[in-house]
Amino acid sequence: MSALADPTYRRFLAARTVAMAGNALTMVALPVLVYRLTGSATLTALVAAAETAPYLVVGLPAGALVDRWNRRRVLVVTGAASGLALLTVPLADVLGVLGFGQVLAVATLVSTLFVFADAASFGVVPQMVGRERVASATSTLVTVGTAIGLVGPLVAGLLVTTTSPALAIGIDGAAYLVVAGVVARLRWPGSEDRTGPAPGRRLRGEVADGLRFIWATPVVRWLTVLGTGASLAGGAASGLLVVVGVEQLGLAADSPALGWLFAAGALGTFVASLALPRVQARLGVGIISVTGYAVGLVALLALAATSTLVLALPLLVVLNFAMTSLIVNGIVTRQVVTPDHLQSRVNTTARLIAWGGSPLGAALAGVIAGAAGTPWALRAASLGLLASLVVALVVGVVRFARLDVLREQAFGPAPEGAAGQR
């Protein structure tokens, strides 16, 4: 049964839809704002790095802490705090005091809060809909988010050229506050649970539990480790997207066509999110991963070689299709095979490891782009996908089973009718 049959999940999805609509505006507005303030490809990429770097700093303890805390309340508090932080950007802009330092600080704070919210979400979704409907719930969230992503960047491109990118970021801040209010009113089985620290266990030991599970579970271990190469390439591509549009494709810095680049990526993500549940029902998670690395590698190298918008747009569709398939395949697999009491720490730890290349990729790509141009930066980033593809073939990732088989191996056959009990 689809996760949409659950009324609580539908309300949760509605709240997330509002949040994702706001995020779609910031996705375009933030790099445009930084590029307008500084005119620097390196600083634009630095903000992209700052948005992912907090995972490297707080990812490990955040997962273990959220496994102790009430996950619903974590979502509420982090959402409200993120909204207030984002609203300082348009306020400073109106007062004429907005600078790069504040934008960087806000991006870093919101990204840090996201680590805790992400940890809570990993545990909330299986708890809310049941393990058998995790793939449906996660894919639906991605599908809705990317449907918004198709329109959002176009609206953002128009908004930032007719008003200001700071205003778009402020709208995102308001959306965060709305979502925090909605989630505060939701209840589901386990929504009030608070595990607390295990007797006699320190935080370091609980973090180690998550690491041990990742290492002891081959499918989680390899999808996580190899994801680092994909995140390095993805961080470079996303961090330089505005710069690629301006310096490689010849677009104006205030051109609405910059939004088309983000919309093309969103289209690839949308198609992948629609297709992935069906693909996971038929193919092993290993085949999906290996194919994703190969397709992403070809698309990124081709993007580095093009100088026209008409060719760049379909390449971004293909690149984001491959990247989304890799990311969602890894997330769903971890959610399906991980016990509930380890969900937050395993998934944040795995995302920390897998996303560890993203800030590095964005930062290095910015430096290379500043010194040698964006084509060479993208070619350098493609080495991450190449390394992941080669290692995946060598260690036999392609042999990993389908999602339903992995679930039965971890927990045994699902009780008859279990999917419809929530």
pLDDT at 288 (0 to 100): 95
Q: How many helices (H) and strands (E) does the chain have?
A: 17, 0
Q: Which domains are seen in the chain, by residue range?
A: 7-189+204-411 (1.20.1250.20)
Q: Which of 156, 141, 164, 189 is nearest to 8 (CA)?
A: 189
pLDDT at 198 (0 to 100): 56
Q: Residues 168, 174, 177, 181: what is their CA dihedral angle, to the nearest 10 degrees?
A: -130
* Residue 235 in tokens: 């961080």
pLDDT at 243 (0 to 100): 86
* Residue 56 in tokens: 């490297």
CA–CA dist 10, 137 (Å, integer): 10
- Residue 146's H or E segment, with its range, is helix 134-162
Burial of 305 from C-beta contacts in 10 A (0-12 / 13-18 / 19+): exposed
CA–CA dist 325, 239 (Å, integer): 20
pLDDT by position in tens, the chain (length 422) = 577 777 888 888 888 888 888 887 887 888 888 888 888 877 887 787 777 677 777 877 888 888 888 888 999 999 999 999 999 999 998 998 888 889 999 988 988 998 898 888 888 888 787 777 777 787 788 778 767 766 777 777 778 777 888 888 998 899 999 999 999 888 877 667 666 555 556 777 888 888 889 899 999 999 988 988 888 888 888 888 888 888 898 888 778 788 788 878 878 887 887 788 888 888 999 999 999 999 999 999 999 999 899 999 999 999 999 998 998 898 889 888 888 778 888 888 887 777 667 777 888 888 888 888 889 999 998 998 999 999 999 999 999 998 888 888 877 765 555 444 44
pTM of the model: 0.69
